[in-house]
Amino acid sequence: MTAIFENYESPWLNDELRILQDAARKFFTTEFTPHVNAWNEAGLVDRSAWTLAGQAGLLCAEVPTEYGGGGGSYLHETVVAEEQLRAGVSGWGNQVHSQIVAPYILNYGREDQRQHWLPKMATGEMVGAIAMTEPNTGSDLQAVRTTAIKDGDDYVINGSKTYITNGQHCDLVIVVAKTDPSQGAKGISLIVVETDNPGFKRGRNLEKLGQHSADTSEMFFADCRVPQAALLGDEEGKGFIHLMQQLPQERLNIAQAAVVEMERAIGITIDFVKERKAFGQRVLDFQNTKFKLAEAKTEALIARTFVDQCLIKHINGELDPATASMAKYWTTQKQNEIIDECLQLHGGAGFMDEYEISRMYRDARVQKIYGGTNEIMKELIGRTLD
């Protein structure tokens, strides 16, 4: 695939990260890419993929070595995530596992919780998920109805969740639940449930518009009894605060994925229009083609530089929620627009599933929805205007 930026390299890259980049690229193209079509048909990635990635040291790269992780930073996670996408693997939920679930346990969990769960997540023995969304509750997390009520030494969890990434394979799930339903956001806590619990039921693997190999599931909790030690951290009622603290990183992660997919779509399209001919000349030689790709390349570079700056701010602890919302909203919007233009330049071939641009088109649509809809992102940005 054609590289579209000849003279730009992300300013946060260093020699150590380039070594990881090369290793991750080789791993994903060798171990994952050949199976993508089969995984799409099956509706989920093979469970063995998690173990292979764990053996390669590509899980929980940000987790300290004392808990079995890679001992790196969010930059290491970024390299792994970008190389996964560059290899055409959109459905493997490591971003949720390593960049969302593991940080919750690392940052808010007690020492015994870190020691118990993180090493197993780093090897792929346990796959993590986080259960926020409910059938009637999406971006409004304060409105969750799932409850976790104390009974003796336990919590008893009741409720249902939906659209949960890694839902079919997960071995542990962080459940967003009301430990005090009378307190609104202040009554929300995070409870870790291991999925062999008899009160937990894994629902169906949901059929989706895109990202067909991403297992996305319903979950049900019926008198699911867990010890009070399953509360993430030492204090009830902190769940909403923890969610708000972690959402900027999740939104940055979505923006980073959007940038990689823009770049990939443009590169794939350049290759296509160089080879495809119409009216006796290459499709690339038409002025319209060059103008459309020039616009796309410009916008992709703007997105890359913006997201790189957000990443540097995040590493320095300076990324504010509004800027993260800007990154998530703008890049995912541009991702969809650019991929749409790239599909158009493929002509009828762009509508055929055998061409990667077709799959990228449908996979992109959810980027404007999860992690908080783009309408919510604009609302959060708008609050800074007063």
> What is the percent of the chain where pLDDT is above 90?
92
Question: C-alpha angle 151/191/237, rounded to 5°?
Answer: 80
Q: How far apart are CA 38 and CA 21, in angstroms?
A: 25
Under CATH, what is the fold of the domain 15-126?
Butyryl-Coa Dehydrogenase, subunit A; domain 1 (1.10.540)
Query: β-pairing, 172-178 with 188-194?
Result: antiparallel
- Active site (annotated) includes residue 250: yes
pLDDT exceeds 80 at position 139: no
Whole-prediction pTM: 0.94
Instruction: Taking residues 318-342, report their average pLDDT.
Output: 97
Residue 386: its pLDDT value, please? 84
Residue 138: its pLDDT value, please? 65
Q: Identify the helix (H) or strand (E) that includes residue 85.
A: helix 74-86
Neighbours of 351 (CB within 10 A): 12
From 54, 119, 118, select the one nearest 92 (Cα to Cα).
Answer: 54
Instruction: Taking residues 16-22, report their average pLDDT.
Output: 97
pLDDT exceeds 70 at position 345: yes
| Residue 184 Rama label (left phi>0; alpha psi -120 to 50; beta) | left
The domains of the chain are located at: 15-126, 129-237, 241-385
Question: What is the CATH architecture assignment of 129-237?
Answer: Beta Barrel (2.40)
- When the pLDDT of each residue in the chain is averaged and rounded to a whole number, the result is 95
pLDDT exceeds 80 at position 197: yes
C-beta of residue 231 within 8 angstroms of C-beta of residue 260? no
Q: Does domain 241-385 have CATH number 3.30.365.10?
A: no
pLDDT in tens, 78-130: 999 999 999 999 999 999 999 999 999 999 999 999 999 999 999 999 999 99
Neighbours of 135 (CB within 10 A): 12
Instruction: Taking residues 364-376, report their average pLDDT.
Output: 95
pLDDT grade, residue 234 (50/70/90)? confident
pLDDT grade, residue 184 (50/70/90)? confident
Residue 141: its pLDDT value, please? 75
- Mean pLDDT check: name the lowest of 44-58, 132-146, 284-298: 132-146
pLDDT grade, residue 251 (50/70/90)? very high
Catalytic residue among 31, 83, 250, 299: 250
The two three-digit tokens of residue 93, written as one number: 């939920």
Residue 16: its pLDDT value, please? 97
Cα-based torsion angle of the residue sequence 261, 267, 272, 273 in order, rounded to the nearest 10 degrees: 120
Instruction: Taking residues 344-366, report their average pLDDT.
Output: 96
Q: How far apart are CA 223 and CA 217, in angstroms?
A: 20
Q: How far from chain centre, in Å, is Cα 364?
A: 12
pLDDT grade, residue 2 (50/70/90)? low
Q: What is the DSSP letter of 46?
A: -
C-beta of residue 150 within 8 angstroms of C-beta of residue 177? no
CATH topology of 15-126 equal to that of 129-237?
A: no
pLDDT in tens, 290-318: 999 999 999 999 999 999 999 999 999 99
Q: Can you tell me which residue has the tokens 């409870």?
A: 191
pLDDT in tens, 149-168: 999 999 999 999 999 999 99
| Residue 134 Rama label (left phi>0; alpha psi -120 to 50; beta) | beta
Cite the beta strand spans of the chain per DSSP E.
128-131, 147-151, 154-165, 172-178, 188-194, 200-205, 216-227, 277-278, 281-282
